[in-house]
Amino acid sequence: LMVHRQDEGLQGLEAEVVRCNLLDREGVRSFVKGVDAVIHTAAVISVAGGDPQGRLADVNIAGTRHVVDACLQEGVGRLLHFGTIHVFDPFPLEEVLDETRPLRTEGAGAYDRTKVAGNRLVLDAVEKGLDAVILSPTSVFGPHDYYPSLLGKGISDIYRKRIPMLIPGGYDFVFVDDVVNGAVNALERGRTGENYLLSGHYLTVKQLAALIGEVGGVRTPRRIVPMPVLQAMLPVFRIQSKLTGQPALFTRESLKVLKESPQRISSAKAEKELGYRKTEIGQAMKATLDWFADAGLLHG
């Protein structure tokens, strides 16, 4: 397993851990030498909109290029590349979104653009003979979220009443165990050059908070702040972020994502070809909250 910084989630696993930066071309090539398959999950995720420091482009484009090139040069048997639902154009929102939906172009944020570019690098390599498959999960949640992720922090904050009021909109949330099972099956059953959507369950933010409250046995926020009010407060969130050094509570991009999220994302292709299955959302949330509690992420 190649890691850069965080490796808490790997503790206790019978795996060799190698530290390497994706921007180290030769280091990446050395890592993939002699392996049967590579699962590329590393990425920088951002809902800030821009990329002033170039980290998104460095990791999501240059890093992916190094992985792809290394796999080609070393004759790796299969590359499993993790993309994202964000590469697909969300419009029209009312129609079912599947793998035939065009990729995002105009109006996309920096994260979306860099992930689209990463997908294209993989598909270009397929044309050169690389056996590669792309998986595109929605928003992943579940146990072993040590950092935690943006969604994991949101779940914890809602449970701990750190968020007094909710925001409009919603998203499709997928359980991490389902994504892992889909990935394992894709190694054996995925078709070269294909992209598979791994969706879960669409919930509004209000429904997500209610689910956390129901499963966790706590009272969670119910009131929703109107979108115009949130948009007017964005400058305040930016100033707060600069003062605290923490990511802004909301950004123009994050509000846009929740407002423009498709509610009907199909995983039919993955279900048919990979045997992909979805865990019941209540069961998934219980497993998540149980682990968060054991990890101390629901206290304080």
For 137-180, the DSSP string reads: E-EEE-S---S--HHHHHHHHHHTT---SB-S-EEEEEEHHHHH
Dihedral-angle region of residue 8 (phi above 0 means left; psi in -120 to 50 means alpha; beta otherwise): alpha
Using CA atoms, how far residue 19 sits from 32, 33, 65, in Å, is 13, 15, 18
Strands 201-204 and 170-175 come out as antiparallel
Using CA atoms, how far residue 239 sits from 229, 245, 250, in Å, is 17, 10, 12
> Under 8 Å CB-to-CB from 189, ≥6 apart: which residues?
273, 274, 275
Structure tokens at 94: 């009312």
* DSSP secondary structure letter of residue 296: T
Which residue is associated with the tokens 């590359």?
79
Quote the pTM value. 0.94
* DSSP secondary structure letter of residue 55: H
Dihedral-angle region of residue 107 (phi above 0 means left; psi in -120 to 50 means alpha; beta otherwise): left
pLDDT digit string (tens) for 22-66? Answer: 999 999 999 999 999 999 999 999 888 788 789 999 999 999 999
Lowest mean pLDDT among 174-188, 245-259, 282-296: 245-259
Query: In degrees to the nearest 10, what's the CA dihedral of 185, 186, 188, 190?
Result: 130
pLDDT digit string (tens) for 162-209? Answer: 988 899 999 999 999 999 999 999 999 999 999 999 999 999 999 999
Which residue is associated with the tokens 């299955």?
277
Structure tokens at 185: 């099956």
**Partners of residue 18 on adjacent β-strands:** 2
Q: Residue 13: pLDDT above 90?
A: no
User: What mean pLDDT is predicted for residues 143-165?
Assistant: 93
Name all domains of the chain by residue range, CATH numbers in brackets.
Answer: 2-294 (3.40.50.720)
State how far the Cα of 15 lies from the Cα of 6, in Å rounded to an integer.
15
State how far the Cα of 197 lies from the Cα of 136, in Å rounded to an integer.
5
* DSSP secondary structure letter of residue 183: H
